[in-house]
Each structure stands twice: as structure tokens, then as C-alpha cells.
Amino acid sequence: MKYSKALQLITFSATVGLASGANILVSALDTSEIEAFLAANYSDANVTAAGDFSNFNAASTQSALDGVDLVIIGRSLSSSAYANGNADGYNGLEIPVLNFTSYTARNAGNRMGWHTGSATNNKSVAGNETTITAAGSNLLGVPAGAYDLFDTNVGGDFNGLGTGTASVGGGNVLATIGGDILAAYWETGAAPGDPASAGVDTFPAPRLLMNLDDDPRPTGEFTAQTELGLSLTIQTIGDFGGLTPVPEPSSALLGLTGLGLLFIRRRK
């Protein structure tokens, strides 16, 4: 069955149906840059817990998850802490989970198992490095094709893409760099790339992998992107997490989408 683009975008954006924003848990060794990013770019992002919550079953993690609407797994971390099934419990949460790195999403070392294979660190971000796939176009409302979303001057090679040959199970690859996975999305009920490693056969709520490069990057920022790339990142996170971006999308993003309708946002 084919669905209209409007319905697809509504499905993507309606992952958190809260009237007053989202309570967010951020798990990373250094959460300060993500917290600053959320505070600067969304009017209703409420970080209620921030720290190293890699061990899902730890009492501190379970306490921190109370009342949380959205989990974000950050970029500044040691992926080994998410190995050996330590973080598999996140895969069973009935709330959206956003992951910023394939280093934890991969199945290597019995990590989270969102996709098979590993992570790469050798793809150049020069020129129009990012390819939006047909699936990415359908969900994001951006025409499929090549774009310059990352800053060559500070980015160099991208550290942390998913292996291009990796399986994402029932998910969809939204964007690639040099053939490797930049972003992927799993709707509710979709299977992860490696169910055995993930500890679940299907995800009970949406999952979004949005790989971010942190080596190197501007001081105090958690991503090194062009104006267009940063605008798309802000909008994508906002619609996935039920957050309201401020300010409105940049002129670069509005120009890309013609009528300015990158996403069909629900009214709060």
C-alpha cells in the first residue's frame, strides 16, 4: 500500500504527542554540548537527566528514565560501555530513541544491534558529500540527491558512519556519505538489523540513527555542519522528538524545499 507524502511526514513527526514539550534523557560522557544545542534550538526541550547511562539496568539509569519521553544517546562517549548487552534495554523502551553514533548502534561486540557491521572513519566530507536516498526523501520531504551538509574546513573525514554493507533490518537508510550510513529510521514495529544483538525482534517505538561527526569540530559544538546541514538536523530532531525549533528554519532550508514545507508539523 502506498501512502501520501503528507501521511508519511505526519507519521514521522508524531512520535511524541505532548502539549508541553518532551522530557529528555541524554546519555554520554560529556552531555554539555548536546544540552546547549537543545536549549539553543528548541523552545520546549526539557533535559531531566544527563550523564553516562550506558548501563540500562543500573539503578541510576532506571531512576533517571522515570517520566522521560525521549532518549538521546550522544556522540561523546566510549562505545565499549554500550557493548555486551549493557544498553539493550533501551531497545525495548516504548518511547522514541535517538542515537547520534553507529559506534553504539552497530552489532559488533554485542552493542545495540540497530544495524549489522561496524562504524567507519574514512569518508571525506568535501563537496556534496551527503546523498539523500529515496526513503530519506519520502520521510524528510527533501528531494533525493547529493548535498553539502558538512563543513569541509573543520570536518575532514567523517568519524562514525555505519558500514555501507550493513543491514538495517526493517528500517530505512535515509542518507549516506560515500556509501556508508549517515542516517536511518525504524518505525514502530520494524525489526533491527540484528535482533539477537538488539535483544528485541522489533522496536516498540520509533528509532532514529543520525550519525554526527565529532573529530574535529568547532569548539563548543557537537556537530560541524553547513548552514543547510545544521538546519536539516534541527528540523529532523525536532520532528522526531516532538520539539519546537527556534528560530524557524533557515533561508537555505526554505529555499531547498521551495514552499518551505520541509515537514508537516502537528499542532500543539
Q: What residues contact 66, with CB distance under 8 A and at least 6 apart?
A: none
Q: In the predicted model, what is the mean pLDDT of the chain?
A: 86
The pLDDT value recorded for residue 251 is 56
Buried b (16+ CB within 10 A) or exposed e, 111-128: bbbbbbbbbbeebebeee
pLDDT at 90 over 60: yes
The predicted model scores a pTM of 0.88
Provide the pLDDT for residue 247. 74
pLDDT tens for each residue of 206-228: 999 999 987 677 776 778 888 99
pLDDT category at 60 given cuts 50, 70, 90 is very high
DSSP E strands: which ranges in the chain? Answer: 22-27, 45-51, 70-73, 97-99, 119-120, 123-124, 130-132, 145-147, 157-158, 161-162, 172-177, 180-186, 207-210
pLDDT at 215: 67
- 252-261: per-residue pLDDT in tens? 555 554 333 3
129-172 tens-digit pLDDT: 999 999 999 998 899 999 999 987 666 889 999 999 999 999 99
Local confidence band at 20 (pLDDT 50, 70, 90 cut-offs): low
Side-chain half-sphere exposure of 258, counting CA atoms within 13 A: 3
| Topology, domain 5-256 | Rossmann fold (3.40.50)
Domain borders along the chain are: 5-256
